[in-house]
Structure 1
Amino acid sequence: MQDTPKKSRKCAEELVLLSESPYDTPNPFKALSDPEGLSAVGGDLKPERLIHLYQHGFFPWYSDPDPILWWHPLERCTLVPEHFHASRSLKKCIRHGEWTWRINNNFLQTIKTCSELRAQNEGTWISDEIIEAYSNLNRMGYAFSVEVYLNQKLAGGFYGVAMGNMFFGESMFSLLPNGSKVALWQFCQVANKLGIELIDCQVESDHLISLGAQMMSKEAFVANLQKYVTKPTSNAQLNQLASQNRTHLIEFKTD
């Protein structure tokens, strides 16, 4: 499914100052090379703009007091759900204890936990403004959180945005060993059933690569965007699961 990475076509670089229109769209192939992937500045985090720019592969990433910065990297870290790699130690971890999972059990808690844990370490871009913006997307049925529990204790999770047959991961956390890995593994199993073809992990990390993620060229990523975000959306099915999970914990097992 993943195309062979190709060298992205060269265009004159430009940094776009976004207008008031939520449909203002920078050219992803004109993103700066330094800092790599920076495409636009300004605008706002209203739902219309966020949805539009996600559909074109841009994501906001900035820290206060900087203005809103929009990125479209030269290469993208992506994960095909069926290619998730579960190590032997992860499988062993799953077999011990009662693991359960939910979708949107507590979106606000999940995004705040991601913010707080990052702030304690390398710093966080998940500001109050970001929390409010993605909480709005959650209420509209675009943003989702996944939480996993070990023996009824919150172990880890992540949040992101679903559009068409794609999921755009934003941030994850672990409160117990392997918490975020278990959350992503379970979501990949659900994603397969719902027809989600690709998870955008944005920026490469050793952690994600060890779980089966691969780097994809900008041209291949844009082609996949055009193919998948226009397909019948999986949001309705995810929202249906979320509604069920508010009253039913769903256990899962491994072979």
Structure 2
Amino acid sequence: MTAFELAVQDAAGLAVAARVRPDRIELCAALSTGGVTPSPALTEAAVATGVPVHVLVRPREGGFDYDDADRELIVADARHAAGLGVAGVVIGGLAGGAVDAELVRRVRGTVGDLEVTFHRAFDMLGDLAGALDELAGLGVTRVLTSGGASRAAEAAPMLRRLAERAGDRIQVMAGGGVTSANAGELAATGVAALHASAKREVVEHLAVALGSAAPAGPARYATVDEAEALAIRDVLAGGAGA
């Protein structure tokens, strides 16, 4: 059966995950930016749900070409997350248009037996098949990918090719615009897992501006929609996919 990874960024989402029981949680903060490293307290709360937690380790928004200071933060945050009882870490880094293999090796060596997922920095690479082979050789557990497109549903043929190429060496997890409406189609590509945020929008009102990204007036943020998360889980439990 295709596994279900639920992206969560807040305490309300953790409460939903505790009820829905996805196969694992990807925990992050600032999901609207693609996600950054969550706080230790949020990580501890996630672990307390009893759902396996995979912590996103991303030191800033933007691209994935990191300098030495960024790399040191990634390794340190991965080490700290490992001490909080998580099941895995989620990382990514590029160097000269290729996988930052040295960063992957350092994190892999830091977190011991924990699983390591390479996130959608993978989709920025020109040779996805070659990068998949390289990451398998580096001991990465799985790759999160939209098949090189903005949305996974636009790249089903590529996802199928990657899943076939991966074999038993590494898992391919499809992410990017995954919903209950397309989960069955994506699972049918043979990927090992689907990654979804199953989000709904919450609107609040800000009396004053809190920065250029948050002007005064209506402010919106996303949290997990329980009905949508349940719907995705149920589609996958129904036997769609390989």
TM-score, L = length of structure 2: 0.32
- Higher relative contact order, structure no. (Cα contacts within 8 Å, ≥ 6 residues apart): 1
TM-score, L = length of structure 1: 0.31
